[in-house]
Amino acid sequence: MRLRPLGPGAPSVGVIGYGGMHLSIQDRPPEEQGIRVIHAALDGGVTLIDTADVYCLDQNDIGHNERLIARAVRSWRGDRDRVTIATKGGMVRPSGRWEADARPEQLRAACERSLKALGVDRIALYQLHAPDPRVPFAESVGALAELQREGKIRWVGLSNVSVTQIRAAEEMVQVVTVQNRLNPFFREALEQGVVGHCAERGIGFLAYSPTGGGRLNRKLPTHPVLHSIASRLGVSPHALVLAWVLAQSPTVIAIPSARKVEHALDSVAAGELSLSEGDLEAVDRAEFSRR
C-alpha cells in the first residue's frame, strides 16, 4: 500500500486506514468477527487505526472499541510497532445519544480512561472529537496541549473543525492531523478550505465516512458514473470512491470502516489504485444525491 506522512513530525502510514466505529455501535458484529476484520486490514497494509472512547452503545459501554482494537493488535502476528492507534475525546454517550463535552476536566478524565482501555503509557494520536459550543475552544485545545506536555499523548489532532479553528489551535500546539468528513456526497471540507489548509501546512487530513456512510454508502454500486468507471477498471465502486478521496490532496488519508473481512479487503485495495484525470473529472462532475 502507498504511504503518506501522518503529519508534521509523525511517521508515514498507509493511505487507507481503518475506522473502528462500526465494530462497537448499534448492530455491531460479535467481537471475534471484529478482531478478524482488524487482522485482515492489518494484513492488507493498514497501519493507522482510528477509534474513540465513545464508539460504544452508551455511557455504560465507554471504551468498548478501544479495548477491542487493543486486543486485536496485541493478538496480531505482524509487526505491531508499525501500527499507530489514534483515539479521540470530547464526546459523551448519555442514554446512547451523541453529545459534545470538551471541558478540560472531561478531556483529562477521558484521556486517562483511554490510556487504560488501550493498555498504553502514551497515546500516539489524541484528537479533540468535536468543538463544544459551551466551552471556549482554546480551553479544550489547551487541555490537549497540557496532556501532551505531561507525556500522556504524543501527537495532537482535531476533528470536525473549520480553518479558523485549526489556525486558533496552531497558536497553542502543533496540529498533526485533522479528521473531517469527505466523500462525493459531502464536499464541505474541500469547499470550505480545510483540505487545502491541511495540504499547505503538511497536516494529515483523515477523511471519515469516505464512501458516504449509512444508506449513502449503499447507493454507490448503482451510481451510473461510478458503475461505468469501476467496471472498466475492474474495481468496486467503493474502492473507486476511496481513490477519488485520496486524490483530493497529497495529505489525505482515508479511514473507512468495515464490519466484514471482505469489505475491509476491498478498501485496502484502493490503496494501490490511481485514477486518470478524466476519471477524476467524471466523478467531480457527477451528481450524488443525498436523498
Instruction: State the chain's mean pLDDT as an integer.
Output: 97
Tell me how far CA of residue 49 lies from CA of 2, 188, 223, 255, in angstroms. 16, 24, 29, 8
pLDDT in tens, 66-117: 999 999 999 999 999 999 999 999 999 999 999 999 999 999 999 999 999 9
Catalytic annotation present for 55: yes
Measure the CA dihedral 190/193/194/198, to 10°: 110
Q: How confident is the model at residue 199 (pLDDT cuts 50, 70, 90)?
A: very high
pLDDT in tens, 234-289: 999 999 999 999 999 999 999 999 999 999 999 999 999 999 999 999 999 999 99
What's this model's pTM, rounded to 2 decimal places?
A: 0.97
Give the pLDDT of residue 214: 85
Give the domain ranges of the chain.
Answer: 3-211+238-273
Catalytic residue among 18, 55, 126, 208: 55
Above pLDDT 90, what percent of the chain?
98
Give the pLDDT of residue 80: 94
Q: How confident is the model at residue 291 (pLDDT cuts 50, 70, 90)?
A: confident
Give the pLDDT of residue 213: 86
Record: fold of 3-211+238-273 = TIM Barrel (3.20.20)
Give the pLDDT of residue 288: 95
Give the pLDDT of residue 176: 98
Give the pLDDT of residue 146: 98
